[in-house]
Amino acid sequence: MKVLAVLVLCVTLGFSNTLDSCQGRCGYGTDSNYSCQCNPACERYNDCCSDYAAICKASTSCKGRCGESYNSQNECHCNSLCPQYNNCCSDYNELCYNAGGAVTDAEIKSISERLYSLDSNKASASVLVIDPQALVASSQTSSETDRSSKPLFSFLNENALFSKPTYAALLSVLDNYNRMTGQAENFSSQQLAEQDKFVRETMSNTQVGRELFAFLYNKGIYKSEEDFIQDLKMMWFGLYSRNNNQLDSSGFEHIFAGEIKGGKVSGFHNWIRFYLLEKSGKLNYYSHSFNGPWTTFPDVLGMQFMWDGYYKQVGSAVIGCSPEFDFAIYSLCYITRPGKQCHLSVGGSTLIIQTYTWDNSFYGDGKKFIGSAYPATP
């Protein structure tokens, strides 16, 4: 039944994780995790995928190829450098350019300030109090030493925040995950509905979400609100494998819920998740290695902590923001600056978000899932 559930989920989300195709893999080095290869050497070693010639050698379209590595065998190219070398495929601008190059840094700073001003559901000092305590140097973050005797969160008025629809939607999704990588996720129909509700509640039913959509729509990145919602569901909740070829992870799980990989905490960049685990006694706050310049919420901390026996060296998060603001700024940065640093302006101060793409599997026409996103050191 577990295998069947995973297969049903794959169909529901339109996810494909094939190991014997060159879709999105042209020019990549030899990878023993795949049953066939998609680089020029595969012809010499006779281990090319069956669609290697069709996808990697003869294709003159960027469909499924946006952001791929340079491959001299291709007739045209679909990466960020092809405009500079004047060797892009004819549909590069249509399929790839709006995925990361059509929005200026100034526009990103402007829209992020608007999102900040519209975040009416963020915490105030009357409902949230934190106690950062020990500040450590970057060289000390790996020591696994508890330098803070008290919890990070001194007070939170849960009734004032958690009754709000977007907070309630987030809480319903956070507990749906198995934190261990290498173990396939198995979602019920109710849990899939909770994912859908979270995206729609935060993006369709708040001023923050509607403002983000309007901005991306006006830039030509999305043709309709439904197109926007469906793409967010796939990039955030579509499953891929971080370990053991199991569909064990997603961008949302990694960033908002946190995972365990290689004996350490991986991801985990949401303050509400931190609060809930600390309150339950499963998380012990140790110290922080950076603190943002903000004196009101949202603020930014880079935290060291132990989660039920597993250590996180730097788990940065935007503290006190609403779920819709958290989701919106990460989405904005991933859509406009995938795999790069994204420079926001929040309350007049710079906030840098680092995003990473997941390059080993794809959805839709070669789109990449979110690998990670988090606040970088101010």
Q: Give, as one character, the DSSP assignment of residue 97.
A: G
Give CA–CA dist 378/365, Å, rounded.
Answer: 35
- Which of 254, 288, 367, 368 is catalytic? The answer is 254
Whether 378 has a pLDDT exceeding 90, the answer reads: no
Whether 159 has a pLDDT exceeding 80, the answer reads: yes
- Which of 261, 288, 312, 367 is catalytic? The answer is 312
Residue 79: per-residue pLDDT: 76
Whether 325 has a pLDDT exceeding 60, the answer reads: yes
Residue 102: per-residue pLDDT: 77
pLDDT in tens, 261-318: 999 999 999 999 999 999 999 999 999 999 999 999 999 999 999 999 999 999 999 9
pTM reported for the whole predicted model: 0.76
How big is the chain by its Cα radius of gyration, in Å?
21
Whether 92 has a pLDDT exceeding 90, the answer reads: no
Confidence bin at 37 (pLDDT 50/70/90): confident
> Percentage of residues in the chain with pLDDT exceeding 70?
89
Whether 122 has a pLDDT exceeding 70, the answer reads: yes
Q: What mean pLDDT comes out for the span 14-39? A: 68
Strands 264-266 and 283-291: unpaired
Q: Give, as one character, the DSSP assignment of residue 99.
A: G
User: Which comes out higher in pLDDT, residue 189 or 100?
Assistant: 189
CB 328 within 8 A of CB 175: no
Q: What mean pLDDT comes out for the span 55-79? A: 75
Residues 6+ apart with CB under 8 A from 54: none
CB 69 within 8 A of CB 39: no
Give CA–CA dist 253/207, Å, rounded.
Answer: 25
Instruction: Report the chain's terminal Cα–Cα distance, integer Å.
Output: 47
Report phi then psi at 314, rounded to 5.
-145, 105
Highest averaged pLDDT of the listed ranges 71-75, 82-86, 136-140? 136-140
What tokens were used for 127?
């409902």
- Which of 269, 288, 367, 368 is catalytic? The answer is 269
Residue 344 CB: number of other CB atoms within 10 A? 22
Residue 278 CB: number of other CB atoms within 10 A? 17
Whether 30 has a pLDDT exceeding 60, the answer reads: yes
Residue 97: per-residue pLDDT: 54
Residue 38: per-residue pLDDT: 81
> Percentage of residues in the chain with pLDDT exceeding 90?
70
Specify which residues 319 forms β-bridges with: 299
Domain coordinates in residue numbering, the chain: 105-375
Whether 59 has a pLDDT exceeding 60, the answer reads: yes
User: Which comes out higher in pLDDT, residue 37 or 281?
Assistant: 281
Mean pLDDT of all residues belonging to the chain: 89
Give CA–CA dist 378/375, Å, rounded.
Answer: 8
Q: Is the dihedral of CA 7, 39, 360, 99 positive or negative?
A: negative
CB 308 within 8 A of CB 283: yes
Question: Measured between alpha carbons, how far is residue 119 from residues 78, 97, 116, 274, 355 in Å?
Answer: 37, 30, 5, 21, 22
Whether residue 312 lies in the annotated active site = yes
